[in-house]
Amino acid sequence: MIIRRVCEGDIESLYRQRLCAFTAEETAELVRAAVEEERGSESCFFVAVDRGDVVGMTTVRRLGHRLCRHRAELGGFVIVPGARGTGLARRIVGAARAEAYGWGCSVLELDCRGGTDAEAAYLGLGFREWGRMPGGFHDRDGAIYDDVRLWMPTGDEVAE
């Protein structure tokens, strides 16, 4: 298994695996935009590839506001069900942390729906909660979740 930057050759696999939850055209546009955005910016779209198939993905980008340049945000973190529980999430987060650290960021942050497996997984990876908005996410099916904000340091120190 390899973790690397996305390329246009990943479009078909991303769509087939339903990692982006978009149409084929939307997936292609997302990848092309990510590849273009990486040129000259502090943004990266990582994919985990196993035997030619994309089995996981995330994006990481440095925050642009002058008071937040020490922070990077993780987004779109998805792993196919068959690759969950294998340590892949830890490896993907490690790649994102290293990228953010290389940009000079000391904090990696994200948000997720509260009370879900994702929240438990992020906490298990070492993220720590710093904020919670009750009812912050309203899903299309009518479900309501808290918006949970989490963080971890990009270096070796432990989140407190």
Residue 98 lies in a domain: yes
Domain count, the chain: 1
What is the domain-level CATH number for residue 10?
Answer: 3.40.630.30
pLDDT band at residue 157 using 50, 70 and 90 as cut-offs: low
Buried b (16+ CB within 10 A) or exposed e, 42-81: bbbbbbbbeeebbbbbbbbbbbeeeeeeebbbbebbbbbe
Please report whether residue 12 resides in a domain.
Answer: yes
Residue-range definition of the domain harbouring residue 103 = 2-153
- Does the residue 84 lie in any domain? yes
- pLDDT bracket for residue 34 (50, 70, 90): confident
Residue 159 lies in a domain: no
Specify if 74 maps to a domain: yes
Strand 43-50 and strand 53-62: the pairing is antiparallel
Residue among 30, 26, 20 at smallest CA distance from 54 = 20
Residue 42: DSSP 8-state: S
Residue pLDDT, tens place only, 64-97: 999 999 999 999 999 999 999 999 999 999 999 9
Extract the runs of DSSP E, i.e. beta strands, from 1-92: 2-5, 43-50, 53-62, 71-79
Predicted TM-score (pTM) above 0.75: yes
106, part of any domain: yes
